[in-house]
Structure 1
Amino acid sequence: MQPALTASATPTGFLRLIIIVTTISAAVMELLDVTIVNVALTQVAGAIGATIEDVAWVITAYAIANVIIIPLTGFLAEYFGRKNYYLASIIGFTIASYGCASSTGLGELVGWRFAQGLAGGALLSVSQGILFDAFPPKQRGVAAGIFGMGIVLGPTLGPLLGGLIVDNYHWSYIFYVNVPVGIAAALLTFFYIAKKPGEGQRKSQMVIDYLGIALLAVGVGALQYVLEKGQADDWFDDRYIRLGTGLAVAGLGGFVWRQLTTAHPVVNLRLLGKGTLGMTTVFSFVAGLGLFTSVFVYPVLVQRVNGFSPTMTGVSLLWPTLTCLPLFPLIGRRLSAGDSPLPYIIAGMLLFVGFGFYSGTMTGQAGPWDFYWPQLLRVIAVTLLTLPLLNQALAGLAPKDFPGAIALNNMIRQLGGAFGIALANTYVARAHAQHRADLVAHLDTGNPLLLERLQHLGSSVAQGYRILDVQVDRQAYLLSYLDTFRLVGVFFALILPLAYLLRTKKKSAAEIALASKALAEAH
């Protein structure tokens, strides 16, 4: 077996291929698990005796854990050594995946998903850093493009793979599938990923901000609980919602205070005042909201209303992504050549607005190809936003600030995703009740046409009423989900004028080369 290359040399040939396969596999595995559950919500809910709304915690627990751990990945990689931390994360993710598959109740499943999210937080950013190190500085635009394809492909393969598994096997296999991939990635990492010089040797000089970590976990967790359960529990009429709100305010407020006053912050919030990072995080938050919300709502809509099977749902998401896959390396090369990220960001925002309002015109009879065009707009929008937003976040910053800026930007994007899923759940619940009431209000029991309709629906008027009730409920859900898509479009439209504040001066060739090198070293 070929030994790992020394960290001082750039790998070539077979070894570089192994590193690409290892890092992309680990990153795709983490991203795939963000969405693989989406098409299986109905089956999971039925198997563990929960509602679809409650099962959404399986998704948000993963997102919350990512929000907590992502800003810590740089610190943990430096504290334990990048290779050691990466290997431990892959093993932890694999074990948590087995725990998810073996779960028999909602609480157990949510707990393992949270653990999976904590372990998976490192797989994305550390994979990117290892991949960048495998390329010389002039080829790192290519590395960014390769990694970008994985970023898009992972969330899209999730619904397809999940659909195939749910339609043909038990739902638990959506998690068991990670086990062999995780074992292979762990072995490849152990034998082929090299350590960087001095990895893990500064442990004694580093200070862990335990209070900051605790405040972040409490604040984000409490906020997510309020957003998820507020609608069902009558908001502030419920004492747990009031308690959660207090904890969220205290936790997040205390976290901000702690990060601005401590000499060793876990998240360097002071960077928000430098360059365009502060404004870029607003766009990253909304981008995360749009991506996670749309990928969460779409499978539920087409299965609950349009009658798609899980496999059909996954296939309908796959084709738009395959169409746009070549865009990622192209954008990576253009950004490396010096293109400003701002035009890409503006175009991506406009396309997301178009996606939201176009999706809001769908009907309950729409088929997979009817959804192709709005989904194509979404995939192009995500492609135009992902790499350019990361580049924009680093504009105007010194290379030494890159690691903190990347961690902060990634955390905000994940937080936007968690917020978006909670918002979608709450909004759909409220909109469904309102739409159902409006639809029922138009049913006149004294109208002979209604009675005739009821007789055609069933063998008796009573049975007709039951069938009509199901139809009204289905239509109310359709209108609610379409409203949610429009709401996503509104979010993007509202922040679009702020793009004016992202303008920066054009970089020189030397600055572009320095930024590319520092971006790789930041991981």
Structure 2
Amino acid sequence: METENLVEYGYRRVIITITAILCALLEIVDTTIVNVALNDMRGSLGATLTDVAWVITAYAIANVIIIPMTSWLSQQFGRRNYFAVSIVIFTVASFLCGNASNIWELVIFRFIQGMGGGALLVTAQTIITESYPAEKRGMAQAIYGMGVIVGPTLGPPLGGYLVDNFSWPYIFYINIPIGIIATLLTLTYVRSPKYGEKLKANQVDWWGILFLTAFIGSLQFVLEHGQQDDWFENSTIVVLSIVSFLGLILFIWRELVYKFPIVNLRVLNDSNLKIGVILCFILGFGLYGSTFVIPIYTQAILGWTATDAGLLLIPSSIMTGIMMPIIGKLIQKGIPQTYMVAIGFAIFFGFTFWMYSIMTPDTGSEHMFNPLLLRGIGLGLLFVPITTLSLSSLKGREIGDGAAFTGMMRQLGGSFGIAIITTYIARWSQNHRVDLISNLNGSSLTVQQRIEQLKLGFMSKGYPANEALEKAYKILELSVTKQATVLSYMDVFMFLGILFLACIPIVLFVKTGKGKVDLSNVH
């Protein structure tokens, strides 16, 4: 079936667009909504911090395993059926997560939820792209992008509100009515392209699935648990790193030699997709990395509540949402995406440099408002142009394969970003602490005066002199540790900024023919 037959008009297109965005939002909000509920889960399920981290890890692993397979699974079962079943799996698993009676039940149900959720992202993107005529595809990506960029930011404030006012199972129950509506709308309105012959069970690329699972699953575990398990000092991390590396090599070999591969690697011969995949990885790194660091900084250093920390990111998301249709229009007018991406990277560097310069142990929300708006503008200029550039020279069925690669690399970029950032914060905090302490000279008049001041303060509250002195030293040590942590957060922002700045030359390698992107043969 030619894709033009899948283009929708009028109210049908509006309903299909809303359904697809709802599903993409469901998936992405659920990636971050649990972050603020982990403490309550620990308490009510009697779990350790390491155990509860698996609630995030299991979802992420399932997500990243299923994303590369979505194009193939759509072809096997028909896009509409596959999309509807994915929503049902996600919704049922959400109900089971809310009813879990112990931590490992919750982890298993989160894994199943991730299997359903991973499919929603890429399939939603392909459905939206197909529903719009070629000249409006930039706008279609902009509409989809609003869901993808706003989603990670909506999670923490929504999760904070539900946990503070109800209880943690409600962060899962909230998916159920939306899932039911989305399933009914999908079955009624979404149509599937005809893909030709389906594979028989003995033609399915089972080895490909096994190698992909070994590669991605092990890699995701290493990234999520590396820092807390001290990286390569830990035998599990070493073994899984080897499994991941071998899984990657065997997976690439299998997909290139097998007649019916589960992931079409040959699509990566397209030079625009190659560069787009790298840029998607870096976009994920910056998007999820900054979404991770800012709430931690505001809660751990500034002492904010989870809800306040989550709300801080909302203006940035609204700004991105405002930018999306504007960018879609600019693409339709034929302005080269390479320019937009280069400007987006430069603006994101401006945001990180601004954050670097205002961070202190008592920065106020008013100081962060403008830099975060700048972040929103930068992400808006990056998401749609990178996505449309990546898929710009693909045709037919390859579009679905390309969308799966960009989706996977964005998620992996986020995982790498968070793993590297947590490691750097831990290591750099130690280094800064050592430096700060070496500069604290006990014979310095300023230091002596500060200790004496603190000591007198404690004595005025009724503490004996020796105890007051001990407390004064403790306060000094705490402020040194706090200052060291703030310095490490500043380093993280500078690191992110330099990474984005270094990407500008990569963008210049992208081949662009005419300014408008032709996505007219999507399947």
TM-score for the superposition, normalised by structure 1: 0.88
Partner letter of residue 482 of structure 1? M
Q: Post-superposition shift, 1:199? A: 7.0
Match of 1:497 in 2: 505
Measured on the aligned residues, the alpha-carbon RMSD in Å equals: 2.9
- Map residues 171-182 of structure 1 onto 2, 5 A cutoff: 171-182=168-179
Do the aligned partners of 1:80 and 1:199 also contact (CA within 8 Å) in 2?
Answer: no
Mark the runs of 5 or more structure 2 residues left unpaired by the alignment.
Answer: none
Query: Which stretch shifts more, 416-425 or 130-139?
Result: 130-139
SS of equivalent residue, structure 2 residue 509: helix
Q: Post-superposition shift, 1:119? A: 0.9
SS of equivalent residue, structure 1 residue 449: helix
Do the aligned partners of 2:391 and 2:399 also contact (CA within 8 Å) in 1?
Answer: yes
CA distance in 1, matches of 2:356, 2:304: 18
CA distance in 1, matches of 2:495, 2:238: 26
CA distance in 1, matches of 2:21, 2:224: 32
Do the aligned partners of 1:393 and 1:405 also contact (CA within 8 Å) in 2?
Answer: yes
Do the aligned partners of 2:146 and 2:320 also contact (CA within 8 Å) in 1?
Answer: no
1:435 matched to 2:438? The reply is: no
CA distance 1:120–1:229, change in 2 (3 Å):
closer
1:21 aligned residue (18, 30, 40): 18
CA distance in 1, matches of 2:281, 2:42: 29
Q: Post-superposition shift, 1:248? A: 1.7
CA distance in 2, matches of 1:9, 1:209: 29
1:416 aligned residue (413, 418, 423): 413
CA distance in 1, matches of 2:429, 2:103: 24
SS of equivalent residue, structure 2 residue 340: helix
1:485 aligned residue (487, 493, 499): 493
Match of 2:69 in 1: 72
Do the aligned partners of 2:6 and 2:193 also contact (CA within 8 Å) in 1?
Answer: no
1:369 aligned residue (363, 366, 370): 366
Partner letter of residue 178 of structure 1? N
CA distance in 2, matches of 1:129, 1:249: 30
What do the CA deviations read for 1:451-489 (whole angstroms, capped 9, x no partner)? Answer: 314415644233334444443333333222222222211
What do the CA deviations read for 1:385-413 (whole angstroms, capped 9, x no partner)? Answer: 11111221124444443222222122112
CA distance 1:241–1:18, change in 2 (3 Å):
closer
CA distance in 1, matches of 2:256, 2:457: 65
Partner letter of residue 59 of structure 2? Y
CA distance in 2, matches of 1:112, 1:106: 10
Do the aligned partners of 2:277 and 2:390 also contact (CA within 8 Å) in 1?
Answer: yes
1:471 matched to 2:468? The reply is: no
CA distance in 1, matches of 2:493, 2:74: 38
Partner letter of residue 241 of structure 1? I
CA distance 1:41–1:347, change in 2 (3 Å):
farther
Match of 1:333 in 2: 329
Do the aligned partners of 2:38 and 2:52 also contact (CA within 8 Å) in 1?
Answer: yes
CA distance in 1, matches of 2:247, 2:300: 37
Match of 1:285 in 2: 281
CA distance in 2, matches of 1:47, 1:443: 44
Q: Post-superposition shift, 1:85? A: 1.0
SS of equivalent residue, structure 2 residue 412: helix
CA distance 1:244–1:132, change in 2 (3 Å):
closer
CA distance in 2, matches of 1:197, 1:241: 43
TM-score for the superposition, normalised by structure 2: 0.88
2:310 aligned residue (307, 314, 335): 314
- Map residues 59-458 of structure 1 onto 2, 5 A cutoff: 59-103=56-100, 106-190=103-187, 192-196=188-192, 198=194, 202-204=198-200, 207-361=203-357, 362-444=359-441, 448-456=448-456, 458=458
Do the aligned partners of 1:165 and 1:173 also contact (CA within 8 Å) in 2?
Answer: yes
Do the aligned partners of 1:457 and 1:468 also contact (CA within 8 Å) in 2?
Answer: no
CA distance 1:138–1:246, change in 2 (3 Å):
closer
Query: Which stretch shifts more, 426-435 or 54-63?
Result: 54-63
1:517 matched to 2:520? The reply is: yes
Do the aligned partners of 2:282 and 2:410 also contact (CA within 8 Å) in 1?
Answer: yes
Q: Post-superposition shift, 1:286? A: 0.8
Do the aligned partners of 2:211 and 2:247 also contact (CA within 8 Å) in 1?
Answer: yes
CA distance 1:14–1:381, change in 2 (3 Å):
same
What do the CA deviations read for 1:260-309 (whole angstroms, capped 9, x no partner)? Answer: 22222222223323232222211111111111111111111111111222
CA distance in 1, matches of 2:302, 2:268: 44
CA distance in 2, matches of 1:400, 1:264: 14
SS of equivalent residue, structure 1 residue 359: helix
Provide the identity percentage.
40
Q: Post-superposition shift, 1:108? A: 4.1
CA distance 1:349–1:63, change in 2 (3 Å):
farther
What do the CA deviations read for 1:40-81 (whole angstroms, capped 9, x no partner)? Answer: 455555655667677555434433322211111111111111
Partner letter of residue 506 of structure 1? K
Partner letter of residue 120 of structure 1? G
Q: Say how many residue pairs are matched.
A: 508
CA distance 1:409–1:357, change in 2 (3 Å):
same
Q: Post-superposition shift, 1:9? A: 7.3
SS of equivalent residue, structure 2 residue 366: coil
CA distance in 1, matches of 2:382, 2:307: 28
Do the aligned partners of 1:432 and 1:476 also contact (CA within 8 Å) in 2?
Answer: yes
